[in-house]
Chain A
């Protein structure tokens, strides 16, 4: 399950909002305006089962999200869901990968400390012996100009 965010984990001034996640789950979100820059040369990788529950993360994922690996494995991937991300983006993600296709997009992710980081994400279905056994997302560093475009576009998609 997915726990509310905890004020003692937050670094800096924060706002509070309640987010409606998939399956009528509600989560209390505490978020700040502090950005963590994407580390040069690294890929942030995670894999989920077909239901979107995290089954594998690499070290960069742990470092950037601010969670410990044990907190991530078994959690829904919406643990990174930032309130500034329009729900339509994730509907498109799920519709695309469930058709068996690759999804690519720019995502603002929420850290455990309330801060955020932008990524360029590519999600693909993991097909083994003809069956989808999960999904893998690989994130890379986005360009500043793409982030600026998203900062203009995403608020219009709510």
Chain B
């Protein structure tokens, strides 16, 4: 029997080959046959989860509640220091210096990343903006969110902090950050489904130990990570409760 592993679509483009290397490493270490399946968008991935075809997932925090509470998934690990934070950004020439000055009808550019979008919309609330009174400008990635701001096709952009920081200096010089979130407890996590759960402890230990040898460190590096840290059930439950309060 082969098991299926998948990765949150917001995390695949930059490290696609890294996830294949990681999957090869994981199969070798565990002796389990695991097939890596990448979905182009969140909806495709959620359909697969609903159809119970997924056994391992590097999950977006937004989907954690559904995975744990409806599908019986449990957390394994998170990447050290990899909290998801969001940014509210405008064109450097914009007259807006405070979210409170924004008005209904503001054009807001964002990607499909559900957790970043949620955090971003919360940071727009002090301006009385919400899903019903903004003009959404959906972009395929954060470089395109930046483009929309530069071309003044959007008034405000919502970024994943890491993705914004990776933009070129030339682009960032033409932009202005209004707010940077400091939430620190919202993060992606590697999670394990019911069919593999008898191997949970075993896999968790392998992952936590991974950074202790050269081979493992190299694999982590190809993902852009340094160390996996254990996530226990209560930490995950707490994050789910927190996401739940934000999703209102």
Contact = CB atoms under 8 A, between A and B. Distances in A.
A124 B183 contact: no
A145 B130 CA distance: 14
Nearest to B124: A143
B242 A40 contact: no
A141 B248 CA distance: 14
Interface in A108-142: 120, 122-124, 126, 128, 136-138, 140-142
A155 interface: no
Contact of B245 (A41, A136, A142): A136
B222 interface: no
B153 interface: no
B180 A41 contact: yes
Nearest to B246: A138
A78 interface: no
Contacts of B238: 126, 136
B125 A120 contact: yes
A8 interface: no
A55 to B, nearest CB: 12
B226 interface: no
Interface string B219-248: 000000000000000100110011011101
A5 interface: no
Contacts of B122: 140
- In this complex, the interface size class of chain A, counting residues with CB under 8 Å from chain B, is 20 to 34
Contacts of A138: 242, 245-246
- In this complex, the interface size class of chain B, counting residues with CB under 8 Å from chain A, is 20 to 34
A144 B101 CA distance: 10
Given A40-B99, A42-B183, A140 B241 contact: no
B98 to A, nearest CB: 9
A104 interface: yes
A21 B238 CA distance: 29
B127 interface: yes
B244 A41 contact: no
A68 interface: no
Q: Give the interface centre of A41, A45, A128 by most chain B CB atoms within 10 Å.
A: A41
Interface string A41-71: 1110100000000000010100000000000
A56 to B, nearest CB: 9
A136 B128 contact: no
Nearest to A136: B241
Contacts of B244: 102, 124
Q: Give the interface centre of A38, A43, A122, A128 by most chain B CB atoms within 10 Å.
A: A43
Contacts of B234: 128
Interface in A3-60: 38, 40-43, 45, 58, 60
B100 A143 contact: yes
A128 B183 CA distance: 23
A45 B237 CA distance: 15
Nearest to B100: A144
Contacts of B185: 45, 58
Interface of A: 38, 40-43, 45, 58, 60, 102, 104, 120, 122-124, 126, 128, 136-138, 140-146
Sorted nearest first, the 3 A-B pairs with minimum C-beta distance are: A122-B245, A138-B245, A41-B181
